[in-house]
Amino acid sequence: MRILVTGGAGYIGSHTCLELLACGHELVVVDNFCNGHEEALGRVERLSGKPVTVVEGDIQDRALMTSLLREKGSEAVIHFAGLKAVGDSVSDPLSFYTNNVFGTISLLEAMRDCDVRKIVFSSSATVYGDPRWLPITENHPLRAKNPYGTTKLVIEDLLRDLYRSDSSWAIAMLRYFNPVGAHESGRIGEDPKGVPTNLMPFIAQVANGRRDELRIWGGDYPTRDGTGERDYNHVVDLAEGHVAAIEALEAGGMSEVNLGTGTAYTVLDMVRAFEEVSGRPIPYKIVERRPGDAASCFADPSLAEQRFGWRARRGLLEMCRDHWRWEQQNPDGYRDRSA
C-alpha cells in the first residue's frame, strides 16, 4: 500500500517505517521535527535499502495534508504525530489540544476530501486512567487523568463518531502501554530531548554514565517489591503490530486494541535486567511516589491476537539489550551523526 505516515521521524514511527518498508509498502512521511529527527529516516532508508519520501510539515496544515494525500496517491494513513509529554500537557494544555486534537481534525478533513478513509491511530493506555481491574481489557472504563491522555480520548471519541456517521471509514485505534527498546542494529532508537521522564531511557543513561543515579518513584506500592509495575513492550513488536493493523484495514471496520505483552515488570525488575545485559551497576534511591502514578498497569493482549494475529514476541532482556546497544552506539542520540 501507499501509506502516509504522520510523525514518522519519531521513536515509534521510525521503527514502524522500517517494518512497513520490509513488507513492501511505499511511504511518505510528514513530520514537523518538533521532537523527531530527520536523521532517523535517513538511517531507515539505509537500513532498508528503500526510499522514503520525507516532507517537513505540520498536520495542522490542512492544505498541505490534502496536497500530499492527492499527489502521492496515499491509500491509508498511520497517524503517530502528536505531543506526548504528560508533564508538559499539565502546564500547557492548550498546545496539546491544538497540536493533537486540531491537528487530527485537519488530517481527517483532508483524508475525507481526498477519499482516503483508512487510518491507524496512535492511542495510549493512558485513556484508561487508574486501572479498575487488571489485566486491562479494551472494555475498561475510559477516563484520562491528564490533558495528554484527554487529547487521546477526545480523538478516539471523534473517530468513533466518524465511523458511526460513515462506515466506509476503516479505523484501528491502537492503545500502546510502555514502548521500550530499539532496532537490533542500534542505528535507530528513542532520543528524548532533555532529562528523560520515562524509566528505560533514564536507566540507560545511568548505565552509560550520563546520569548519576536513578530515582525510583515510590517503594511502597502493593506490588511484589513495592515499586511500580508496567507492561513494557519492545518497540519492534509494536511496529510489527502496526503492519498487521494497517493490512487488516483492507477488511474495513473499526477497532480499539491494546498493544501490550500482558506481563508486568516492576522498576526493580527493570534495574536488575538492565544491569544484567549492560554489566554496569545502576545506582538508585527510592524516593516519594510521583503524583498520578498507578501502582500497576498491564494489558490483556488477547484481542490484538484475535483481530490482527499479532502478539508480542520479544522479552525483557531483549528489550534491555537492544536499548543498551542504541544508547552505547548513540550517546548523543541522533545528534551524533558520525554513528
Kindly tell me which residue out of 46, 132, 285, 290 binds ligand WQD, with binding defined by CB under 6 A. Answer: 290
Which letter, b or e, does each residue of 52-80 get, where b requires 16 or more Cβ atoms within 10 Å of its Cβ?
A: bebbebbbbbbebbbebbeebebbbbbbb
In this structure, the number of other CB atoms found within 10 A of the CB of residue 322 comes to: 23
CA angle 25-60-65, nearest 5°?
A: 40
Kindly tell me which residue out of 5, 17, 20, 35 binds ligand NAD, with binding defined by CB under 6 A. Answer: 35
Q: Which grid cell is 195? A: 532529562
> If contact means CB under 5 to 8 A according to the sort of partner, which of ligand NAD, ligand WQD, none does residue 33 touch?
ligand NAD
Kindly tell me which residue out of 74, 122, 223, 296 binds ligand NAD, with binding defined by CB under 6 A. Answer: 122
**Nearest residue to ligand WQD, by Cβ distance, number only:** 228
Interface size with ligand NAD, residues (CB under 6 A): 28
Q: Is residue 41 close enough to count as binding ligand WQD by CB under 6 A?
A: no
Task: Give CA separation, 50 vs 1, 14, 23, in Å.
Answer: 15, 14, 11
Q: Is residue 81 close enough to count as binding ligand NAD by CB under 6 A?
A: yes
Q: Is residue 35 close enough to count as binding ligand WQD by CB under 6 A?
A: no
**Residue 148 bears catalytic tag:** yes
Site string for ligand WQD, 58-97 (x = CB under 6 A): --------------------------x-x-----------
Q: Of residues 11, 97, 128, 148, which has the active-site annotation?
A: 148
For residues 63 and 40, the answer to whether their CB atoms sit within 8 Å is no
- DSSP three-state, residue 88: helix
Q: Which grid cell is 120? A: 491507524
Q: Is residue 12 close enough to count as binding ligand NAD by CB under 6 A?
A: yes
Task: Give CA separation, 72 vs 106, 108, 111, 250, 301, in Å.
Answer: 18, 16, 12, 19, 35
**Shortest approach of ligand NAD to residue 195 CB, angstroms?**
15
Beta strands 254-259 and 170-176, pairing class? parallel
Q: Is residue 233 close enough to count as binding ligand NAD by CB under 6 A?
A: no
Nearest by Cα to 316 from 284, 271, 281? 271
Q: Is residue 12 close enough to count as binding ligand WQD by CB under 6 A?
A: no
Pick 103 or 228: Cβ nearer ligand WQD: 228
Q: Contact residues for ligand NAD (CB under 6 A)?
A: 6-7, 9-13, 30-36, 58-60, 80-84, 99, 103, 122, 124, 176, 179
| Binding interface with ligand WQD (CB under 6 A) | 84, 86, 124, 126, 178, 197-199, 202, 214-217, 228, 230, 267, 290, 293
